[in-house]
Every structure is written in C-alpha cells, then in structure tokens.
Chain A
Amino acid sequence: MSTTPGVAAVPAAPAPPGRPAGLQHDFQVLFDRLRTRSFSRGGLVATVVQPLLFFAIFYCTFATMLDARGIDFGRFVTPTVLVQALMFVAIGSATDLAADRSSGVFSRLLTSPVDMRAMSLAHLAVVALQGLLSSVAVVLAGHLVGFRFDQGVLAALGFVLFAVAFTVALSLATATIALRLKNLEALSAVLHLPYLPLLVLSTGFVEADLFPGWLQPIVAASPVSGVIDALRALSSAELTWGAVLPGLAWLVGLVALFSWTTTTAFRKVAVR
C-alpha cells in the first residue's frame, strides 16, 4: 500500500519519464507517424495518382478546344490541375485530423505530455510535404504536355514554394472546420462543397473575360484566380510583380486569417 510509485517496475520496463521530452522531440515523433500515413498506398493515391488522373481527363477534354483558341494547354492548365490537387491535399489532411478526433487519438495526445505546438507544427509540416509531392508530380506530368519554367531555377523554386504555401493556407482553413465540426460524419460533405465552385468560378479553365458579365467580378476577385494567375506568371516568360502580387496578397491574408481560426479552434478542443 505504501510502495513508492514507479520504482518497483517490471524488470524490462523503461524508467517512467516523469517530465515532458520537449518540442523538437515531440515534433519528430508526431511528424514520423503522419509522414508514414501520407506515404502509405492510400496517401500516395490522394497526393499523386488522383491529380495525375484528373490531369489526363482534363487533357482529353480540353486540349483540342484550347488549342483551337490558340491557348497552350500545358502552360494554361498545369497550374489549375496543381491547385486542384492541393485542394485535395487540404481536404485529406482535415479528414485525417477528424479521424484522430473521432478515434480518440487526439484525446490521448492531449492527456500525454506532448507539446501542443508540436501537434500543429507536425500537421502543417506533413501538409507541406504532401503539397511538395503533388507539385513535383503535376509539374513532371505537365512537362509531357508542354509546361515549362521560362524564367529558370529561381522562378521554378518560387512556383513550388508558392504552391506549398497555398497548401498550408488551405489546410489551416480545413483544419479549422475539422476541429470545429461536431458531426464529423458530415465533414467530407462540408469540405467538398466549396471545392467545385471555387475551382470553376476562377480563371483555371477559362479566362475571366469569357465569363458572363455578372460573374466576371466574382471570378476576378477569387483567391483561386489570384493563386492560379500567380503560378502561371511564375512559370511564364512574362513574369511581373504585378501578376504575382494579388495571389501573394491572398496567400498572406489566408494564412493570417486561418492561423488565427485554427489556433482558436484548437484551444477550444484542447482546453475546456
């Protein structure tokens, strides 16, 4: 009844930790688990196979039509396919987060001596990695149909960096929903709802001035248009700050806004 706790341990058992291990350690362990998931068969289908499949479908449907209008399919549509892939990455990461919430893993983490910042950082780091993976896959596929980086290595790096940052911004938005939503079964429907309008009502497939007059302001002001236009600019010969700036402004604004909403939502779940 009065044994000192923890000392009379089973022989092979390691000593009790007694205190937390630290941010870097926690980040590494949490990152490893999520990375294993994202490199699993299911994870790679979502980040690589699915975007390539969509790419092939878009090529078969739009290439001839765009060609007839004098638009280079590879250059015009590759950034669109990429943005769509990044949307799927963001939706997938929120689904994983919701799975951790409903399975109880999230609660177990919250009752473990884990640095809470490590939980968010590991989530975003894996999202960034998945965004990078999708970007490489889509750019390589784009190369087969005429996509090129005209401004050399720096602009290409900027392109990839921009794409990764956009994945993080979107994932912050979807994470907020995954943390806020009470009915997690509705998550998939809620996340897929805005995806199609956002993508179609943008300059992704059709230039803004070809939309009906009343839709043109919406299309021009869309964050997705801004991002796709910036990606196109970063890969084209006519790279100007003016073409990148609206997308960049959206990116900064979205990251700021959704960092705040995610942090608030996380606190609400973690500390009640």
Chain B
Amino acid sequence: MTEAISLSDLTKRFGEQTALDRVSLRIPAGTVVGLLGPNGAGKTTLINCLTTLLQPDGGTIEVLGHDPATDPSLVRANIAVTGQFAALDEQINPRENLVFFGRLLGLGKGEAQQRAGEMLERFELGEAAYTPVGYLSGGMRRRLDLAVSLVVPRPVLVLDEPTTGLDPRSRKLLWEMVRAEAARGVAVLLTTQYLEEADQLADRIVVIDKGRVLADGSSDQLKRDVGGLMCRLTLTSAADARAALLALGELPGVSAEGEKVAVPMARPEDVGGVLGLLEGKGLRIADIEVTKPTLDEVFFAFTEPSQAPGTSETSQAPGNSVKGAAR
C-alpha cells in the first residue's frame, strides 16, 4: 500500500547552509514516528517542507500519494499540523476558533458547532469555552491548539514539539490523544526535545543532525545499536571512582563522574571481569546496576559521539537501522 508519508532524498538549502541533506523517511498509517535531533538539526525545516510551507531544493515528498509541489491543496487537506507555538486567533474564544477552523476544513455551520462542543469536552476546555484565547493559560492554549488541529480528523498528523512548556497533566492528555489518533490509523510525525516522550510514544525513532538522518529504528533497536549494555558502578568516594577509572582504563568508553563509573559492555557476563579488576585494586563497590543505555545516551551517541559516555567504536554494532552513526 501507499505509505502515508514518504520522503526520498529531501534536500533544502538556505544559501550556503544545507538544512536537509538527502533525508529519506517513510511513515505508514497508524505509526508514530519520533523525530529527534538537537536544535538546528533540521527538524522544523523538514516539517515545513512536508506541510507545504517551504519548497525543497531536491528530492521528493509524497503524502498519501500527493506531491506538495504539484498538489499542495490536496496535501494540506490531508495533514493536520500543530506547530511549536499555539496558532490561534487570540481575539476570539476557543469555541469560535474551533468553529472557524472546522468550517474552513469543510464542516457545515451546525456540524462545526457540534464538533467544537465535542472537542472542548474531549480536551477539558469546557470551562474556558467563552474566554478569549488571549486570557488562557499556556497549557490550555496548547490543548486548544491540538484540538483545532484535530477538529476535522485527517489521515496524517504532524506535531512539532507539541509538549514544550506543558504541565504534566496536559502532557499526559496530549500523549493519550496521540495514541488514540495512531490507533485510529493516523500516521503521526512528532518532533520533540524530550527523549522520554519519544520513548513513550514513538513506534520508530529517527535521529537527525545537521540535516542528515543518523539512525532510524525502534527505541529498543537504537539502544542495542548504540552499545549493548551499560554497567553503572557507584564507589564509596570520588577518589575511588578515579582509581577505578584508571584500573578499567583499557576498556573502551569508560567514564567517571563523582562517585560513579559507567562501563559499556557487550554481554551481561562481562560484569565478572570488571568486578575482578576492581577487586584486584582493593576498591569497594557500594552499588552496581546493569542496564540498557537510556535514550539520552542513544541521542548523544548519535549526535555527539565524542561525548557519549557509553559509546565507542568497538561497542557499536551497527545493524541495518544505523546509517553512518560514527562520523
């Protein structure tokens, strides 16, 4: 079947600077893809190209088989967008905003009124229905913004950092909405600064930096690719931790911070060797933990390989999901 979103070799330049460098990405219906990358990685540029706000310099975009270059209005009719900042008419109230955008998307007046009521309830905005948007709290605005994007359901939903600055309750509500949309078969593309959010919501995570795709896979896949396991040791003092770092110096990617030492390892049984080395130096261990790397570590491993605590050339086992992570 046709993918809901399909980008091939998408390229966008601003003068000398290449914001997107041959980015390819496919999102089937019912899938949530999280786009991760540091500030300036090209996330918003990608979204602006996809949503017809920017014209790419190369490559192709297809949204349900429609090309934004030749059929922009068909693409627009099928994509719901929520940008980084709430895009609402501040001079009118939430209900009027919902009715306005509902009608604009083809609902009749009565239909739009009814739908507005439903959305206000669904997004817990009933009490503020008649308060001008200018007076609403940040959380309420973001909820209303998403409600406006969903007032007429469309097969593709694009969310650019939707929970930045949201309180935990609003964030949870928003996450539930995104899951419900995906369950209905909506293809969701979501950019976020919060790795936990990507971990929670995304079926697939795409890491981009400097306009290039560095990795594309499920959260588990990426964690495996980055470094297998991470052994975290807590020693009794910072001096001991430094001594441990020296003792383990031959192992790749070892790092120490305060009383803690992190040792990347390929297999759980490697822990024995580490403990043996420390025992030989008479170092006492207060706590030990062997875990998969966190998504934070995955993120750093791909975007700033030199600073990633748990990464090294040898511990990386790039599967087919990793594209040139080591630069």
Q: Which residues of A contact B79 (CB under 8 A)?
A: 111
Q: Is the CB of A112 within 8 A of B155?
A: no
Interface pair A105/B88, CB less than 8 Å apart: yes
B73 touches A13 (CB 8 A): no
Q: Which residues of B contact A10 (CB under 8 A)?
A: 153, 180, 184
Query: For residues 91 through 149 of chain B, which have their beta carbon under 8 Å from a beta carbon of chain A?
Result: 91-92, 96, 100-101, 103-107, 111, 114-115, 118, 148
| Range class of the B interface residue count | 35 or more
Assembly CA distance A176 to B309 (angstroms): 53
Q: Tell me if B257 counts as interface (CB < 8 A to partner A).
A: no
| Nearest CB of chain A from residue B53's CB, rounded to whole Å | 6
Q: Which of B28, B81, B185, B203 contacts A6 (CB 8 A)?
A: B185
The digit string for A125-141, where 1 denotes a CB below 8 A from any CB of B, is: 00000000000000000
CB distance from B292 to the nearest CB of A (A): 24
| Chain A residues whose C-beta falls within 8 Å of the C-beta of B148 in the assembled complex | 108
Is A272 part of the contact surface with B, judged by Cβ < 8 Å?
Answer: yes
What's the nearest-Cβ distance from chain B to residue A118, in Å? 10
A side interface size, CB within 8 A = 45
Contact B53 A17 (CB under 8 A): no
Contact A107 B53 (CB under 8 A): yes
**Do B92 and A37 touch (CB < 8 A)?**
yes
* Pair A18/B87 contact, Cβ less than 8 Å: no
Q: A5-B186, A6-B185, A111-B81 are in contact. Are A21 and B89 (CB under 8 A)?
A: no
| A20 B73 Cβ-Cβ under 8 A | yes
Set of chain A residues within 8 Å of B203, measured between Cβ atoms: 1
Q: Evaluate whether A7 and B73 lie within 8 angstroms (CB atoms) in the complex, with A16-B154, A104-B85, A112-B104 already known.
A: no
Residues 31 to 72 of chain A near chain B (Cβ within 8 Å): 32-33, 36-37, 40, 42
Interface string of B63-83 (1 = CB under 8 A from A): 010000000011011110101
B104 touches A114 (CB 8 A): yes
The residue in A4, A18, A21, A105 that gathers the most chain B C-beta atoms within 10 A of its C-beta is A105
A2 at the interface (CB under 8 A from B): yes
Interface residues of A (CB under 8 A from B): 1-10, 12-14, 16-21, 25-26, 29-30, 32-33, 36-37, 40, 42, 99-100, 103-105, 107-115, 271-272
Give me 29 A-to-B residue pairs in the complex whose CB atoms sit less than 8 angstroms apart, sorted by A's number. A1-B28, A2-B30, A5-B29, A5-B30, A5-B156, A5-B186, A12-B114, A14-B111, A17-B105, A19-B77, A20-B73, A20-B77, A21-B105, A21-B106, A29-B100, A29-B103, A30-B104, A33-B92, A40-B91, A99-B90, A103-B86, A103-B87, A103-B88, A104-B87, A104-B88, A105-B87, A105-B88, A108-B87, A272-B54
